[in-house]
Amino acid sequence: MKMRTKGCSKLLFLFLVLSFILAGNAFSKDIMFSFTPKDGTTVTQKLSTTREKHLGPAGTQIDESFSITKVTYRKTKEGWDVKAQPISSVMKRNGQEVNNPVVSLLSKLSITYKLDQDGFLKDIIGFETLMETVNSQFSPEVAQKLAPMLNKESLKQKEAAEWNGRIGDYLGKEISVGDTWQYEVPFKLPNGVNLNYKVRTHFKKQIPCGTSKCILIEQVYDSAGEGMGDLMNDAAKSLPEGVEEKEQSVPNVRQSGSSIQGRVTRLIDPTTMNIYEEELERTMQMEMDVPGQGRISTKMIEKRSYEYEYEG
């Protein structure tokens, strides 16, 4: 009888130890991402962007832009409305200010992200009137050329991917400082080509910000997907000034050898999803067949830097 009691005691002890270990694992994640900004919060977002396009013998084209956007968070019966209202926007090419009709239209467009109670994206409104504006301001020939670049669904998909990559994909997730995620992200480009980004996300450390503690996120990604050639084919159509623009001179991008790499750092409050600092850098490389110049290696380097000023 005593032996049975000792056996039961040992089993009970092991059960308690196992329960303690399991409980420790269950509650080891001490940070949860949740969308709980203060109703009425307003943030001024300043974005600086530089894009260097190295096109071999065709030269180097440098595009610089600076924009200021006012973003307001409002609680609704259905969830949240996050409205982005452009304040100003300037674009330069090789040091000279330019007036690109597409950039000009988009830089004046207000959009609203419709979210549910937990902050997950349901819809984006604001792109519906774009083509009406184009048709009223430009000739039918110009409007027809602009239409593919201002496709409502493509623009919504691009904005949704941007929102989810910065906010939505983290909501409801639990992490600890030092955790690393590794995964592949499918993404459909506006031209219909699918890419798979290989992503590594590292939750590096906590840093005081505002009245809370932010988490510093470092993210690197790499892709050699077949869609990169088509993406850069679209980008390469805007050649540097001085290069004659003819139908037959548009570079034909070969998909072989195409690659994209990038790095993102983001300082975010996981309890509200307010972002305080953010920087992005990515490089796209490929080989292109340019009539009269043969096959050349090209590279595009993009850098973005965000600043945020919160009110309310």
Per domain, the residue ranges of the chain are 39-311
Separation of CA 44 from chain center: 18
Is residue 40 pLDDT above 60, yes or no? yes
When pLDDT is cut at 50, 70 and 90, the band that residue 255 belongs to is very low
Residue predicted with more confidence, 235 or 69:
69
Look at residue 36 in the predicted model and tell me its pLDDT: 95
The phi-psi region of residue 188 (left if phi > 0; otherwise alpha if psi is between -120 and 50; otherwise beta) is: beta
Dihedral sign of CA atoms 240, 45, 157, 219 in order: positive
Indicate the class that CATH gives domain 39-311. mainly beta
Higher pLDDT, 162 or 190: 162
Across residues 15-25, what is the average pLDDT?
A: 43
Query: What does the mean pLDDT of the chain come to?
Result: 78
What's the rounded mean pLDDT across residues 198-205? 92
- Give the pLDDT of residue 199: 85
Neighbouring residues of 75: CB distance < 8 A, sequence distance ≥ 6: 39
pLDDT above 70 (res 228): no
Angle between helices 130-137 and 152-166 (to 10 degrees): 130
| pLDDT, tens digit (0-9, with 9 covering 90-100), for 88-137 | 999 998 888 887 777 778 788 899 999 999 999 999 999 988 888 888 88
pLDDT at 300 over 70: yes
pTM of the model: 0.75
Residue 28 has pLDDT above 60, yes or no: no
- Tens digit of pLDDT for each residue in 174-201? 999 999 999 887 654 333 445 567 889 9
What's the confidence (pLDDT) of residue 1?
Answer: 45
Confidence of residue 287 (pLDDT cuts 50, 70, 90): low
Label residue 16 by pLDDT band (50, 70, 90).
very low
Query: What letters, b where the CB count within 10 A reaches 16 and e where it falls short, cover 141-163?
Result: eebeebeebbeeebbbbbbebeb
Which tokens go with 175? 């992490």
Query: What's the per-residue H, E or C state across the chain?
Result: CHHHHHHHHHHHHHHHHHHHHHHHHHCCCCEECCCCCCCCCEEEEEEEEEEEEECHHHCEEEEEEEEEEEEEEEECCCCEEEEEEEEEEEEEECCEECCCHHHHHHHCCCEEEEECCCCCEEEEECCCCHHHHHHHHCCHHHHHHHHHHHCHHHHHHHHHHHHHHHCHHHCCCEECCCCEEEEEEEEECCCCCEEEEEEEEEEEEEEEECCEEEEEEEEEEEECCCCHHHHHHHHCCCCCCCCCCCHHHCCEECCCCCEEEEEEEEEECCCCCCEEEEEEEEEEEEEEEECCCEEEEEEEEEEEEEEEEEEC
Which pLDDT score, from 0 to 100, does residue 291 have?
62
Tokens of 43: 């943030």
* Amino acid 195: pLDDT: 58
pLDDT of residue 269: 97
| Amino acid 58: pLDDT | 73
Predicted local confidence at residue 87, as pLDDT = 94
pLDDT at 149 over 70: yes
